[in-house]
Structures are given as structure tokens and as C-alpha cells.
Amino acid sequence: MHVTIEQAEKAIQAARAKAVELGTQMCIAIVDSGGNLKAFHRMDGAWVGSIDIAQKKAKTAVFFGMKTGQIGALSQPGGSLYGIEHSNQGLITFPGGIPIVDADGEMSGAIGVSGSSVENDDAVALAGASAIGDTELPDHPWRT
Amino acid sequence: MHVTIEQAEKAIQAARAKAVELGTQMCIAIVDSGGNLKAFHRMDGAWVGSIDIAQKKAKTAVFFGMKTGQIGALSQPGGSLYGIEHSNQGLITFPGGIPIVDADGEMSGAIGVSGSSVENDDAVALAGASAIGDTELPDHPWRT
Amino acid sequence: MHVTIEQAEKAIQAARAKAVELGTQMCIAIVDSGGNLKAFHRMDGAWVGSIDIAQKKAKTAVFFGMKTGQIGALSQPGGSLYGIEHSNQGLITFPGGIPIVDADGEMSGAIGVSGSSVENDDAVALAGASAIGDTELPDHPWRT
Amino acid sequence: MHVTIEQAEKAIQAARAKAVELGTQMCIAIVDSGGNLKAFHRMDGAWVGSIDIAQKKAKTAVFFGMKTGQIGALSQPGGSLYGIEHSNQGLITFPGGIPIVDADGEMSGAIGVSGSSVENDDAVALAGASAIGDTELPDHPWRT
């Protein structure tokens, strides 16, 4: 199943609340399990450059069913996935993109957040995803 | 001035209410006066193909400060702007994109709606834009 | 030879003066004979959507050594060049793009103007090109 | 507020004067606060490949409200923003892109310069930006 608009808005509001708590201005994107945009929210004062990054983080997380930072650990020079960012019209592989997993253990979509340090981006994404589901999928051979 | 996130969400909710009234499933996009995405909302059941169209309609409306359909009337075969859709990484020039003009007469952004007939798309966009501003800018030689 | 920056700026100032005379706000682009951007000028209040169109008009004019409107006359439905706008990462084939030809009859670049009616765009482009050269090349089998 | 064309031309002339002083041939781009091109100037003899780099540097600086080199320091292999260049249809994260901040402390646009060593590019960009404003925005958690 795909994330519903009601769930997407709930995730955005939870992410936004966390962003406010951290004193940051974020772009927050929700995509469905096909990687297609469901909802987007740019807080006042957020970087214009984060619009695309937030969406690419969400897309990247759902494309491979894992947190973006897990892919980034493999895409460094010499790593097994070096250069993967060139695929799919651009991926973002540093933290801030997190899958959203429903009660049946199926991925319903993902959230992507950009606008501050990667630690803050990740914390805000986690707050959003956790408001409507889990964030870990069953094991997969690709995962580290 | 750019449209704020509070205004963008108000416009989306007004557009959504109109879409529900019409029995349609819409994608609704709000961009700021620089054409950059501010907020996006895809109703459950809306066409995936409308995600991009809604955003391109909003972008097109803000890029030329007029309703998308006004450009489309000039871009038909034989028309003075035939082929303009090839610019700006793709424009959409049929109805459903409407500028948002603030109380000072300045364009603060635009709304783009896609998901039903162009008449419905336009009605939903108008409901959204009207909730937070005007939709007409001062005269300009290009307007029909 | 390529248009020099001194010539490009002279053409822009002449085009701008014509735009002011017409009461319009224009984007004005100059490309060299390779189609690469030499200079660009966006008047205050010009449409954001015209930034790309002005550049594509200049590029289109230099790519085929003729005024953009001449190509547009052939690219209509049923015409011999129908759909040519899909090439070269997007062409614009309505008036407003004009080649710049030096004293030896060689094309040194082109000017592209966007921001008003195509008649105004073309008049402003002509004012710019004429300030530094001719606008017609010797015959070519493709020309109508 | 967006940078005006008068300011943009003043910045370009100041940047050009610095480039001449350094004996370099530069591409100089000015974008507004939405990242849209305002003015562009390619000195005679400048690399064709610098046309795009200058524009991407200006865009990158305005997208994140900081000098391009600050982002590049974080986007190296192993860095927290590794691969960010894949976003926004291509960023350039080495020095030569600098925000332009007005008297109210708001970012009105950015300048991007390319054509020589990054030290020279940066010096020329600084000369241009300083001619019309400041170059530093208030603190933000992402800055180094």
C-alpha cells in the first residue's frame, strides 16, 4: 500500500514540530512506494537548494528500501556502489531520507528532509517517519 | 514577497475542498514568485502523471504572470507563441495554473492543479488562489 | 569570428533602449557563433520565464543561421520541419532571435529577446543586432 | 528583495576590473535570490566550459546562502554532504560563488565566477559582490 495523504500530512507535521524544536528551517518531502511525490512542505526561510535535495532523499530511500546514509556508506570512493548517485536522474546518499514501513512490514513510502546539518535532517526525518510507521525493512542481501 | 507556508497550506486546503465538492482527485502545487516549490499535495487516487503537470502549471503561471490558459491560446499551431512549451524544461499551457497576487498588487507565487478536466482543474486552482489573494496582475502587452 | 564582449554589450544597450522606448521589460541574450552564451541582461520586471526563451531564441538563430521566425514558419503541423523544437535540448522558433553578421558576411553570433509580444521582441532584437552588424546571411538551400 | 539590473551591472564591472588586474579571462554570472539569471558577462578569451560553471556557482551560493567553497569543504569523500553536487541539476562546490547580502541583511542574489584558478575566481567574485553589498549571512547550523 501507498502512504495516504492523511498519513503524509501527519508525518510532515511531526517533522515540522521537530524542526521547530531544533530551531531549523526544513524542506520536507513524502513519496509513495513508487517514489512519486505525495506531499511537500517548505518552511519559511528554508534553503531553496533543499527543495530538490529533500525530494531526492525521499526518492533514494524508497528506491532501495533503506536509509540514505546506508547507501552513502557504500558509495564512497573505492566502495562497492561508488557513483550510484549518477543513476535515476540523481540520488542523494547522505542522511535525511528514511523509508516508511507499515504495520504489515511493507514499505509504503519514504520521507526526505533537508535544510540543516545531516544530523538534524536525519532527526527530523525520523520524527516524521516514526509518526506514521516503522523505518526498518526486513533484511535484504544488499544491506550492510 | 514570497507566499508563506501558512498561505500555501491555506490555498491547498481551499483547493482540496473544491476538489472534494467536484468529486475529483487532484494534485495541487504552490510555487513562490521565483518559481520554486513551496508546498505540494496529492489527493489519494490522483493520477501519478498529474504530479509533474500540477508543478509545471504553477511554474508556468508564475514565469509569465498570467493564467496558463492565456498562454495556451497563443501557443496553438499558427499562433504567435507556438512551441513555447519547449522552453524552461517544459511548460504546461492549458488551464489550471493561476498567479497569486498579494494586497500590494505584487505576484507572490502561483498555484497549479491537475487531475481532472481542465475546467475542473481551473476551478480548483481558482478556489485555492482566491483563498489567499487576487489572481490578476496589471496589464501587460503579452496578455490576450 | 565570434562577437566580442564589447560588441555584445553595445547590442544589449541598443536593444535595451528600444525596449524602454516600447515600454517593455525584456530579457536579452547574446550568443557567439558556436551558440555559447556571451552576455545576458534581464531588465527589472521582466518575466522569469523569458530568461530561458531569450537564450533559446539566440541559440536557435545561430544554430541555423536564420531568424527564428523563419524556422517557425516551417515547423508548423504538416510543415517540413515539424517538431524541430525537440532537438538541441529545446529550440524556440517564434520571432525574437536574429543572427548577427559581420562586415565579411560571416555570422559572428546571434541575439535573442523575450518579454513582450513577438512583434516587440523582434523589434528589440533587430535594434540590438543592427547596432553591431547585419542580420542576413547569404542564401542557403534550407531557407525559404 | 532581488538584485536590480543596475546593481548586477555594477557588480559585473567591478568583477571584470579585478579580472583584468589579475590578467585573467572570466565568465561572470549574477542570479537573483530565487536562483534565476539576472546578468551574464563572458570576457573575450574566457573558456567556453566556464559559462555553465559560473552560473552553477552563483546558483549554488544562493541556494544555500553561503560561499560555494564552504559547501565543498563538506562534500569531499567521507564528508557529511558527499555527493550533494548531484542535486539541483548540478551544483559547483569549489570557490568562486558568493552570496550578495543587502543593507537589511537579506540575500538579494549571488555572483559566480569561473575562468582561472579557484583563488582568482574567488577574488574576482568577492570584488564583484563587495561592490554592491555584503557577502555574509547570519549564522546557520550548516555553516562550517
Do B88 and C49 make contact, defined as CB atoms within 8 angstroms?
yes
Cβ partners under 8 Å of residue D138, min gap 6: D105
Q: D1 or B65: whose pLDDT is higher?
A: B65
Q: Starting at the edge strand that comes first in sequence, how are the strands of the sheet with C97-101 ordered?
A: C97-101, C107-114, C27-32, C37-42, D37-42, D27-32, D107-114, D97-101
Residue C138 lies in a domain: no
Judge whether D95 and D112 are in contact, CB under 8 Å. Answer: no
Give the integer Cα–Cα distance in Å for A115 and A81: 26
Is residue A12 included in any domain, yes or no?
Answer: yes
H helices present in D1-144, as ranges: 5-22, 50-64, 68-72, 118-130
Report the CATH number that the domain containing residue A82 is assigned in CATH. 3.30.450.150
SS3 (DSSP) at B101: strand
Residue B112 above 60 pLDDT?
yes
Q: Pick from B83, B88, B142: which is nearest to C52 by CB?
A: B88
pLDDT at C142: 58
The answer to whether B17 contacts chain A (CB < 8 Å) is no
Q: B1 pLDDT exceeds 90?
A: no
In a domain, C139, yes or no: no
When pLDDT is cut at 50, 70 and 90, the band that residue D144 belongs to is very low
Beta strands B27-32; C107-114: pairing state: unpaired
Q: Per the CB < 8 Å rule, is A42 touching B43?
A: no
Q: Is A94 on the interface with D (CB under 8 A)?
A: yes
Per-residue pLDDT at D136:
84
- Rounded to a whole number, what is the distance in Å from the CA of D79 to chain C's nearest CA? 34
Which residues are bridge partners to A113 per DSSP? A28
SS3 for D30? Answer: strand
Q: How far apart are CA D63 and CA C103, in angstroms?
A: 44
Low-confidence ranges of chain C (pLDDT < 70): 139-144
A121 annotated to a ligand binding site: yes
B71 pLDDT above the threshold of 50:
yes
Amino acid found at B139: D
Does the annotation list A67 as a binding residue? no
Which residues on A lie below 8 Å from D63 (Cβ)?
47-50
Residue B54 lies in a domain: yes
Smallest Cβ–Cβ distance between D82 and the set A53, A56, A72 belongs to: A72
Closest CA relative to residue A52, chosen from A42, A67, A66, A38:
A42
- A residues 26-45 lying closer than 8 A (beta carbon) to B: 34, 36-44
Kind and range of the H or E run holding B125: helix B118-130
Report d(CA A100, CA A38) in Å as an integer.
13
Of B5, B36, B41, Cβ closest to residue A39 = B41
User: Has residue D94 been placed in a domain?
Assistant: yes
Beta carbons of A94 and D88 less than 8 Å apart: no
Q: Let me know if residue B142 belongs to a domain.
A: no
A37 interaction partners in chain B (CB closer than 8 Å) = 40, 42, 51
Chain D residues with CB inside 8 Å of A47's CB? 63-65
pLDDT band at D57 (very low <50, low <70, confident <90, very high): very high
- For the complex shown, is ipTM > 0.90? yes
The tens digit of pLDDT for each residue in B22-51 reads 999 999 999 999 999 999 999 999 999 999
User: How far is Cα C118 from Cα C69, in angstroms, rounded to an integer?
Assistant: 9
Asked if B78's CB is within 8 angstroms of C94's CB, the reply is no
Average pLDDT over chain B, rounded to an integer: 94
Which residues are CB-contacts of B87 (< 8 A; sequence separation ≥ 6)? C49, C52, C53, C56, C90, C92
Alpha-carbon span D43 to C142, nearest angstrom: 33
**Crossing angle, helix C5-21 and helix C118-130, to 10 degrees?**
140
Option in A56, A92, A116 nearest D142 (CB): A116
User: Does residue B27 fall inside a structural domain?
Assistant: yes
D contact test, residue of C41, C50, C56 with most D CBs within 10 A: C41
In C65-91, which positions are buried (b, 16+ CB within 10 angstroms) versus exposed (e)? bbbbbbbbebbbeeeebeebbeeeebb
> Is pLDDT at B83 greater than 80 in this prediction?
yes
Instruction: State the Cα–Cα distance between residues D141 and D144, nearest whole angstrom.
Output: 8
Which partners does chain A have (≥3 C-beta pairs < 8 Å)?
B, D
Chains in contact with B via at least 3 Cβ–Cβ pairs below 8 Å: A, C, D
Q: Is the pLDDT of residue D76 over 80?
A: yes
What residue type is assigned to position B144 of the chain? T
Mean pLDDT value of segment A20-26: 96
DSSP class per residue in C90-123: ----SSSEEEEE-TTS-EEEEEEEESS-HHHHHH
3-state secondary structure of D68: helix
Q: How many domains does chain A have?
A: 1
DSSP state of C37: E
Closest CA to B11 of B40, B34, B37, B48: B40
> CB-hemisphere CA count at 13 Å for C37?
27
Reply yes or no on whether the pLDDT at D58 is more than 50: yes
Q: What is the residue whose three cell numbers read 563572458?
A: D42
Q: How far is B117 from chain D (nearest CA, A)?
A: 32
| Contact check, Cβ <8 Å, A41/B4 | no
Burial of A89 (0-12, 13-18, 19+ CB in 10 A): exposed
Cell numbers at D17, concatenated: 576590473
Contact A5 B40 (CB under 8 A): no
Which pLDDT belongs to residue A12? 98
Average pLDDT of chain D is 94
**Residue B61, pLDDT score:** 97
User: In terms of C-beta distances under 8 Å and separation of at least 24 residues, what long-range contacts does C42-45 make, across chains too?
Assistant: C42/D5, C42/D36, C42/D37, C42/D38, C42/D39, C43/C16, C43/C19, C43/C115, C43/D5, C44/D4, C44/D5
Euclidean distance between CA atoms C20 and C124, whole angstroms: 10
- If you count residue pairs, one on B and one on C, with CB atoms under 8 Å apart, how many are there? 61
Stretch B52-62: mean pLDDT, rounded?
98
Among the partner residues C76, C94, C120, nearest to B141 by beta-carbon distance:
C120
Range of the domain at B33: 5-130
Q: Does B138 touch chain C (CB under 8 A)?
A: no
Q: Show binding-site residues of B for formaldehyde.
A: 57, 114, 121
Q: What is the DSSP string of chain A?
A: -PPPHHHHHHHHHHHHHHHHHTT---EEEEEETTS-EEEEEE-TT--TTHHHHHHHHHHHHHHHTS-HHHHHTTSSTTSTTTTGGGSTT----SS-EEEEE-TTS-EEEEEEEESS-HHHHHHHHHHHHHTTSB--PPP-TT--
Q: Within 13 Å and on the Cβ side, how many CA atoms surround D30?
A: 36
Alpha-carbon distance B28 to A59, whole Å?
19
pLDDT band at D139 (very low <50, low <70, confident <90, very high): low
Q: What is the distance in angstroms between the Cα of D106 and the nearest Cα belonging to chain B?
A: 12
Q: Which of B65, B82, B83 sits opposite C47 (nearest CB)?
A: B65
Is the Cβ pair D34, A48 closer than 8 Å? yes
Bridge partners of C29, per DSSP, are: C40, C112
